[in-house]
Amino acid sequence: MRKKVLIADDTVLMREMLKSALDPADFQIVGEAVTGEQAVEFYKEKKPDILILDINMPKMNGIDALSAVMKFDPKAKVVMCSDQKYENMIVMAIKKGAKDFIVKPFTASDVLQAVKKAFDE
Domain positions in the chain are 3-120
- How far is Cα 29 from Cα 77, in angstroms, rounded to an integer? 15
pLDDT, position 53:
96
Quote the pLDDT of residue 98.
Answer: 95
The arrangement of strands across the sheet holding 100-104 comes to 27-33, 3-8, 50-54, 78-83, 100-104
Tell me whether strands 27-33 and 100-104 are parallel, antiparallel or unpaired. Answer: unpaired
Task: Specify the pLDDT at position 105.
Answer: 87
Determine the Cα–Cα distance for residues 37 and 19; give it in Å rounded to an integer: 21
Of 84, 16, 13, nearest in space to 55 by CA:
84
Query: What is the full DSSP assignment across 2-35?
Result: PEEEEEE-S-HHHHHHHHHHHGGGTEEEEEEESS
Right CATH number for 3-120 from 3.40.50.2300, 3.30.930.10, 3.20.20.80, 3.30.420.280?
3.40.50.2300
Distance between CA 102 and CA 116 in Å, rounded? Answer: 12
Distance, in Å, from the CA atom of 68 to the CA atom of 114, rounded to the nearest integer, reads: 21
Per-residue pLDDT of the chain (121 residues; tens, 9 = 90+): 789 999 999 999 999 999 999 988 889 999 999 999 999 999 999 999 999 999 989 999 999 999 999 999 999 999 999 876 767 887 899 999 999 999 888 999 999 999 999 988 7
DSSP SS3 for 104: strand
